Amino acid sequence: MMARRVRILVVVLLIASTRFDPAEATEWFVAPGGTGPGTRTAPLGRVQDGLGSAMPGDIVTVRAGTYTDALRTVRSGTADAPITLRAEPGGGPVLVTSAGTVLRVDHAHIVVEGLALDGQYANAVAVDVNNGGSFLVLRRVEVRRSGRDCVDLAAPSNVLIEDSLIHHCLYPANGRSDAHGIVGGAVRDLTIRGTDIHTFSGDGIQLDPGRDAAGWDRVLVERCRIWLAPLTQSENGFARGTVPGENALDTKASNNAPRARLVVRDTQALGFRGTIDNQAAFNLKENVDAMIDGVTVSDSEIAFRLRGPTTFSGAWVAVQNAIVHDVVTAVRYEDNIENLRVWNSTFGLNVGRPFEAASSRSAGVNVRNLLVLGSRLPEEAFDRSNLAVPNASFVNAGAGDYHLVPGSPAIDVGAVVSSVLTDRDGVRRPQGNGPDIGAYEWLRPIMGGRPEGVFRPLLVR
């Protein structure tokens, strides 16, 4: 027994002795026109040379300027010693541009921060992340002008895209073909946070167009803004004034994998109309279990197109704390959808149809605590917890502010829904004698501070 304990102790000591020591890390410097070995005073001239030199724990710091590099990872970092490629803190803009793939990631534990990556509208993915690229972090990056997808993820896991800007992903084949902002295959534990995605000829985010049998799972989209608008000038074969894209988010999933889990929260989607038939901000279908919490959809044909079983399993979708306005249809449910919940949401100004059934019965549709600006409720909202109210019930519906005013008939009269614990501002429900109907709880004025249960809201960039 003593010998066994000694062996265990030796193993533990060996593991501890091999942990990364930050003092051993090297910082490599890159600057335009550099010819040195990569020191602070004698920088390298190519970003790729910095990547080629960096070992686990090292940092490649790139000074302001333009670099005509096609970057490719060379080796992996580790969990406690990633390889970091970054724009120099406090420096000016760093642009890396190449006619094709600007960054290819084949290795794990890579962090990229602060770079602008420009694909020059070449017929190639701008950022190509392959199966080996797990634990990738793209933070404060700009990815732009791709002739295909801006960011293409094969099947890595634990990828974070944060506080970034992804735009002008345009593929003009056949008049308009798919080029997505972010596309993922059998990804696991993907987080897209605080990111602005716009001007694409496919979808802002598309999940698993190949329906990989391994399946994708645990995707989180939060505090993002995904949008389309008419082009202000001609771009890569698309005429000025064209709205090129399809959906903010589109899901596909294999029937042979467990049901894929998706959460979208505190996110805005707008501008999805006029390109394809039944164009929707959120096109959720196939073998997915989706929670859509605290989103705003406007200026679109359809806010939520939610599809039941066909040759594929149908989507299971919960929409809560949503604000929908200026759309032709708020919710289009199709193919006898089996599991759709619309709870504690507000349908505001200029909603042509709150619900549209397409080859579908409403038996799988559960609507509770829905607040509709208008004189009557749709037939799907037969539950007593739903309510139609006039414009005066809201702070400023014309400006998109659907908080309740004092005396609103929606206050304290909603049904208790055990899974809707907060409103879209993070305020705990209920604040009074009962939950309020709609996306917001009304906060009673109090003396001496914030009401109990109020959390700092997540703000959309």
Backbone angles phi, psi at 221, to 5 degrees: -120, 120
Q: How many CA atoms lie within 13 A of 376 on its CB side?
A: 5
Please list the helix, strand and coil fractions of the chain in percent, rounded to the nearest 5, in that order. Answer: 10, 40, 55
The pair of three-digit structure tokens given for residue 221, joined into one six-digit string: 């989209």
**What's the CA angle centered on 324, arms 318 and 325, to 5 degrees?**
165
Q: What is the 3-state secondary structure (H, E, C) of 77-112?
A: CECCECEEEEECCCCCCEEEECCCCCEEECCCCEEE
Nearest by Cα to 136 from 107, 161, 159: 159
Instruction: Tell me the whole-structure pTM to 2 decimals.
Output: 0.92
Q: Take residue 303 and report the two structure tokens written for it.
A: 């806010």
**pLDDT for residue 353:** 98
Two tokens, residue 39: 């020191």
Mean pLDDT for each consecutive 10-residue tract of the chain (461 residues)?
43 42 85 97 98 98 97 98 98 97 98 98 98 98 98 98 98 95 98 98 97 96 98 97 97 95 98 95 98 98 97 96 98 97 98 97 97 97 98 97 97 96 97 96 67 39 32
Structure-block tokens of residue 390: 């006039």
Residue 366 exposed, middle or buried by CB count within 10 Å (0-12, 13-18, 19+): middle
In the chain the domains, ranked by start, together with CATH numbers, are 57-404 (2.160.20.10)
Check whether the bond before 430 is cis (ω within 30° of 0): yes
- Cα angle vertex 178, ends 173, 334, to 5°? 130
Whether residue 378 contacts residue 387, with contact meaning beta carbons closer than 8 Å, is answered with no
Single out the residue of 195, 299, 313 nearest to residue 252, CA to CA.
313
Q: Is 144 helix (H, G, I), strand (E, B) or coil?
A: strand
Q: DSSP letter string over 169-202?
A: E-B-GGG-B---SEEESS-EEEEEES-EEEEESS
Check residue 444 and give its pLDDT.
82
Q: Contact, 337 vs 307, CB < 8 A?
A: yes
Query: Residue 248 region, left (φ>0) first, then alpha (ψ -120 to 50), else beta?
Result: alpha
* Residue 196 bridge partners (DSSP): 165, 225
Query: For residue 436, which of 416, 418, 410, 407 has the smallest C-alpha distance?
Result: 410
Closest CA to 56 of 78, 39, 71: 78
Distance (Å, rounded) from C-alpha 60 to C-alpha 87?
8
Q: Which residues contact 62 (CB under 8 A, 6 or more apart)?
A: 30, 31, 47, 50, 85, 86, 87, 88, 94, 115
**Distance between CA 14 and CA 318 in Å, rounded?**
49
- Beta strand 401-404 with 394-396: parallel, antiparallel or unpaired? antiparallel
Strands, DSSP E only, in 294-453?
296-298, 300-307, 316-320, 323-324, 327-334, 339-343, 346-347, 351-358, 365-368, 371-373, 387-389, 394-396, 401-404
Assigned token pair, 452:
């109990």
Question: CB within 8 A of 220, min separation 6: which ones?
Answer: 190, 191, 192, 193, 262, 263, 264, 265
